[in-house]
Amino acid sequence: MCDTLCVRTDDAMLFAKNSDRHPDEVQVVERHDARAAGRELHTQYLTIPDANAVAFLGSRPTWLRGVEHGVNEHGVAIGNEKIWTVDRPRDHPPALLGMDLVRLGLERGRTAEEAFSVVTELLQEHGQGGSGEPHRDEPYYSSFLVADAASAFVVETSNRTWVAREVGEGAAISNRIGLTTDWDRASPDVVAGTDFDTYRWPRMPTAIADHRLATTRAVVARGAETTPADLARVLRSHGPGREETQLPVALDESGRGFSVCMHRRESQAQTTASMIAELRAGVPPRAWACLGNPCVSVYVPCFPPEAPPELADERTWARFGALRDRVEEQPDDLFTVRVALAEVERDLWESGALAFASGTPGLLREFTRTAFAPVDAALHRLGV
């Protein structure tokens, strides 16, 4: 389970995603370098021809080659969602995972339009298949949000079938089909006028996504006034009426206990990484990345494809995981943790903004080299 959104401001497109996976599944944020074409490319389950790849910053579960979300050097951002459809993924052999397609779109797309074409063309050629989870055999299909400074696309899929809509002002997606008849592009097998909601598996309750979509769509509706800080707040949301320092309510039949900042061990879904990106025309992208649940973590400023090296260290993820486990056992501790980390985050955002505004490569490198030090100190003070 995940939540992804984008929203246009006066001079940028903002993108954000929470990656929800197995509670013990380590996820890292790391730089991926550009490479030349000509070799074979190994995805999770397939070997396909390679193409030129641009550099990108991606958030990757360590057992996967693909990524959950990321931003490339040209300012293209992509994230995906698990969705349930009437096509049964177990009926198909291992092929491309949604995370493979996110990575391939980031590697090959210099614009959102190009990345959208990469994802849909590879999907039609190779299909989807193979388990997307490490602890059980769980194949699934994906939806995608692809954005750059000028445009964005929602793509929803069922095996090799897909529909898409350009969403110039913003959109939010979650773990359910959202496009009905309002798509404007589709694979050749989709008849004009088709309601894509007929592809939704009717036995899967949409409530697991609907409450979260209400939260993310509300921030998209704010439009031009939205800031990266607003996105950080929504990614830390524990549900309507809940403060950042209050854990989600108990799960009930309505799905109310599923929140954007996910804490649901009984459903084997927990937020394991998160990212916010700012995409501007003619300006290098910048991002804010965190490991683990956003409520017990820090969004560290990054300048894609660069990021502080500590974010690529599995041990860093484990420290935030330990902090999450502590507050879930002792919920009253969340207030102390949030206050301590919020101060560090605020200072980091201010110093990161100054480095970014300078445009000086040396200052950007120095900030990236030292950015995690205050986070490390705060984690030590919190005992992890």
Distance (Å, whole) CA 286 – CA 305:
9
Q: Among 99-113, 220-234, 261-275, which is the least confidently predicted range?
A: 261-275
Q: Among 31-45, 189-203, 221-235, 248-262, which is the least confidently predicted range?
A: 248-262
Counting every residue written for the chain, the total comes to 384
Tokens of 126: 């190779």
Element (H, E) at 105: helix 98-108
**Which residues constitute the domain of residue 342?**
2-381
Q: Is 6 a catalytic residue?
A: no
Q: Kindly report, residue by residue over 119-172, the tens digit of the pLDDT.
A: 999 999 999 999 999 888 999 999 999 999 999 999 999 999 999 999 989 999
Residue 246: pLDDT over 70: yes
The CATH number that applies at residue 89 is 3.60.60.10
Distance (Å, whole) CA 236 – CA 260:
7
According to the model, what pLDDT value does residue 376 have? 98
Instruction: Supply the DSSP string of 156-197, one letter for each residue.
Output: EEETTEEEEEE-TTEEEE-SS---SS--SEE-TTSPTT--GG
Residues 6+ apart with CB under 8 A from 127: 92, 95, 96, 159, 160
Give the pLDDT band (50/70/90) at residue 102. Answer: very high
Give the pLDDT band (50/70/90) at residue 270. Answer: very high
According to the model, what pLDDT value does residue 168 have? 87
Q: Kindly report, residue by residue over 184-213, the tens digit of the pLDDT.
A: 999 999 999 999 999 999 888 888 899 999
% of residues, the chain, pLDDT over 90: 88
Q: Kindly report, residue by residue over 26-67, the tens digit of the pLDDT.
A: 999 999 999 999 889 999 999 999 999 999 999 999 999 999
Please state, rounded to an integer, the average pLDDT across all residues of the chain.
95
Closest-CA residue to 208 (of 156, 267, 151) = 267
Catalytic residue (one of 2, 261, 290, 302): 2
Distance of CA 54 to the CA centre of its chain: 19
Q: Kindly report, residue by residue over 65-84, the tens digit of the pLDDT.
A: 999 999 999 999 999 999 99
Please give the angle made by the CA atoms of 11, 12 and 15, to the nearest 5 degrees.
160
Q: At what angle do helices 98-108 and 112-126 cross, to 10 degrees?
A: 140
According to the model, what pLDDT value does residue 326 have? 96
Distance (Å, whole) CA 59 – CA 289:
9
What is the tally of structural domains in the chain?
Answer: 1
